[in-house]
Amino acid sequence: MSTQTASGSQARTNLALLLLFLGTFTMGSAELVVVGVLQPLATDLGVSVSTAGFLVTAYALGLSIGGPILTALTIKLGRRALLWSTLTVWLVLNLVAVLTANFAVFVVVRALTGSLQGLFVGLAFTAGISIVPPQRIGRAFSAVIGGFAVSTAFGVPIGTLIGEASGWESAFLAIIGLGVLVLAALVLVIPPVPSGGVGNAWTQARHAFAPRVLAVLGLCVLLFAGPYATLTYITPFLDQVTGISGALIGAFLLAYGAATAVGAFGGGRFADRNAARAILVANVVLVAALVFLYFVGKVPLLVALALIIWGIAGFGMVPSLQYRIVSLSGPGADLAATLPASAINAGIAIGSLVGGWALAAHGASAPVIAGIVVSAFAVPVSWATGLLRPPATDEAPASVPGDSLDPSPKIA
């Protein structure tokens, strides 16, 4: 009987993690599908394509800034009910976006939905932590992160195809429909979720923004600035250096996207073993992949291999980064869980600027060099931040597991 009970409990846990994955998959698809339907969207809203691009910026700003703010404001509310409520309001606002013909309203809605996504991600991490044993925390993080990776690889292209066939509204409605199903299942499946931290918003902020946490957040910025200096301008590289174009470029990017999904899911196991070491090793592999890409740029098959290694390493470290930040924050875990997304988006923005300057000054290969330099600079930072330890055990909430580098079983 006990075996059957354990089996049923594990099945329920797996189902809950699947739903958290589908929640972030839904949100990730809505975040980026705008890119694929930007032209018809701009036409319907009566603005230029470049102006419509601000819809992407508004969402990113909402996620980076609004997510932590909403988390701080709701720190005392029940986690499970807040998880449902956040997804509900997010779905309603996306429906408003579909129904509006006003660009300004659309921008405001995008900023708000981005903020809600930031809040939802932190809640999803807290929920994932609460339903798995300590030795599987990294894999719970992978389930949440994997939703975004898979949405980039598959959700966005599928949404774009729907948008091209039936209008951009259809793409959003398909995403909203999936979100409604996920919401209904979350209400039925997710068990009570204890807080991952303690205290009020000020207490959470004091620990979430401690120097040790800020150091790893700075590392997050570097680890995404480097690759995105290259990735943002990978199409000119593939076109002018590798000599491929059209649908073949899409195939190469799809291979990269699939690799990021593999990395996001697989990285959780390494986070559970030793998160700091996993970050350092992935950083070194990332640098090697970018160097390899630069030197084999004229050989399509080897370029594809470089993109796959890059995707696996680049996203394979994300669960470990999340793990380190949450563990180092101790009582600020709830608020800290939302901060990696902010740091990652900051890194993407900085990397895109650096890559753009390199491209304008030195041509299609220059963004790859820029990515190598920034990623190589991150290696000693990865090593140094790996020496950081969580705060004293007696400050810790008992529900949050320890970092594998710390001999104590709980973090503080």
Banded pLDDT at 220 (limits 50, 70, 90): very high
Q: How confident is the model at residue 401 (pLDDT cuts 50, 70, 90)?
A: very low
Residue 373 structure tokens: 């330099």
Specify the length of the chain in residues: 412
pLDDT-derived band of residue 142, with 50, 70 and 90 as boundaries?
A: confident
Class of CATH domain 1-194: mainly alpha
Domain 195-412: which CATH class? mainly alpha
**405 pLDDT more than 90:** no
Mean pLDDT for all residues in the chain: 84
Equal fold, 1-194 vs 195-412: yes
C-alpha distances (whole Å) from 182 to each of 148, 177, 186, 235, 389 are 15, 9, 6, 35, 37
User: What is the rounded average pLDDT of the residues 269-288?
Assistant: 93
Task: Name the nearest CA neighbour of 227 among 309, 57, 348.
Answer: 348
**Percent of the chain residues topping a pLDDT of 70:** 91
Read off the pLDDT band of 196 (50, 70, 90): low
Whether 4 shows a pLDDT value over 50: the answer reads no
Summarize the confidence of residues 238-257 as an average pLDDT: 84
Residue 64 pLDDT: 83
Give mean pLDDT, residues 27-55. Answer: 82
Longest dimension (CA), the chain: 69
Report whether 307 contacts 255 (CB < 8 A): yes
Domain boundaries along the sequence of the chain? 1-194, 195-412
- pLDDT tier for residue 194 given thresholds of 50, 70 and 90: low
Residue 392: which pLDDT band, with cuts at 50, 70 and 90? low
Residue 49 in this model has a pLDDT that exceeds 80: no
Q: What is the pLDDT of residue 163?
A: 82
More confident residue, 348 or 307: 307
